[in-house]
Amino acid sequence: MSLIEKFQTIIILIAVFIGLLLGQFNFIQQHAESLIIPFLILMLYGLFLTTPLKNLKDAFKNIRFLSASTIINFVWTPLLAWGLGAVFLADHPALWIGFIMLMVTPCTDWYLVFTSIAKGNVPLSTSVLPINLILQLVLLPVYLFIFAGTIETISVSTIFESVILVLILPFTLAHLTRIVLKKRVTLLNAKVTPFFASSQIIFLCLAVAAMFASQGSYLFNNLELISILLVPILLYFFINFIVAKLVGKLLKFSYEDAVSLNLTVIARNSPVALAIAVTAFPEQPMIALALVIGPLIELPVLAVVSQALLMMRKK
């Protein structure tokens, strides 16, 4: 892990506080909102550019693993997220929607780091990464319409516009970059891709700071709601950890493959969901707040889970 990756939880938290501080100045608060989407597009462009879609066919070589991870991530997890929200967040619909959006998007980056720490099967985890990315791009609007639509009225056109702007646009630009630089592989692999790979956290923090600056006064008055999210988020991680362990045992996975399944179904992809939340719900910052708070809890949990898996291996 790079130094930035090791401390990205703290870096994101610092971006939150910087945004809240800057939001106290009227000029910054009035103009910060216009910067959020551009920063998110740059971040997602980097994410899509560094995602190895060429390895898509490798995912189908291990049908049992692919089936297990896909069913847990895209069938079981949405139902679990909606259920936990119904129990703990029914009085806070904006947080409930944000919680659902966070939980239905599997991680496409840092879960590989923790898989490696726990001595899991990193190539196997990498093989399903493109599948997870494509399915969440396709299904996130569906989940949003089905689950969030039961909580609040959501415009289909708004969701569609958001998906085009912050998902399809950067995804297309990343693919075009590969095509344009196809004959200049050295430039792509040595400079362009590494730059955007290392800059994703920077663009994310800039977007987070801009978002909190634009809604600083409102969020300052509602920070107590953060504690409400803690219980359902921790319960989600605990329940899916147990589910992954049981499924891995049932399917007789090796330790390495079981670790890969665990981290694949636990880690979430908050940046993708955050991009949709900011564009689809600009007047409801609490939805985006849930997606910012998520990784602040998730990263320490992933660190604990990876160490717990290593301890179980020794026993």
Element (H, E) at 257: helix 255-266
The tokens describing 16, both together, are 């939150």
Residues 269, 55: Cα–Cα separation, whole Å: 20
The dihedral region occupied by 23, where left means phi > 0, alpha psi between -120 and 50, and beta the remainder, is alpha
- Using the structure block, give the residue that is written with the tokens 């998007």: 105
Q: Which of 281, 54, 262, 12 is nearest to 166 (CA)?
A: 281
The dihedral region occupied by 252, where left means phi > 0, alpha psi between -120 and 50, and beta the remainder, is left
The CB density around residue 70, as the number of other CB atoms within 10 Å, is: 18
Are the CB atoms for 68 and 202 separated by under 8 Å?
no
Q: What is the pLDDT of residues 215-272, one digit of tens each?
A: 766 666 766 777 888 899 999 999 999 999 999 999 999 999 999 999 999 998 777 7
* pLDDT the model gives residue 6: 61
Q: Which of 69, 74, 130, 73 is nearest to 259 (CA)?
A: 69
The tokens describing 60, both together, are 């189908």
Residue 312 has pLDDT above 80, yes or no: yes
* pLDDT the model gives residue 152: 61
Residues 44, 294: Cα–Cα separation, whole Å: 18
* pLDDT the model gives residue 115: 86
Residues 120, 128: Cα–Cα separation, whole Å: 14
Q: What number of helices (H) and strands (E) belong to the chain? A: 17, 0
Are the CB atoms for 226 and 293 separated by under 8 Å?
yes
Residues 90, 167: Cα–Cα separation, whole Å: 29
- Residue type for position 67: S
Are the CB atoms for 162 and 154 separated by under 8 Å?
no
Element (H, E) at 162: helix 156-163
- Residue type for position 153: T
For range 137-162, the mean pLDDT = 73
DSSP 8-state secondary structure symbol assigned to residue 59:
G
Q: What is the pLDDT of residues 173-210, one digit of tens each?
A: 888 888 888 777 777 777 788 887 778 778 878 887 88
Whole-angstrom CA distances from 16 to 12, 184, 214, 219, 247 are 6, 39, 11, 11, 37
Please, which residues bridge with residue 106 across strands? 268
Higher-pLDDT residue of 20, 248: 248
- Model confidence, pTM: 0.76
Q: What is the pLDDT of residues 288-298, one digit of tens each?
A: 778 877 777 88
Residues 293, 278: Cα–Cα separation, whole Å: 14
Q: What is the pLDDT of residues 71-119, one digit of tens each?
A: 999 999 999 999 999 999 999 888 899 899 889 989 876 687 788 888 8
Residues 256, 116: Cα–Cα separation, whole Å: 10
- Using the structure block, give the residue that is written with the tokens 């490696």: 116
For range 24-45, the mean pLDDT = 83
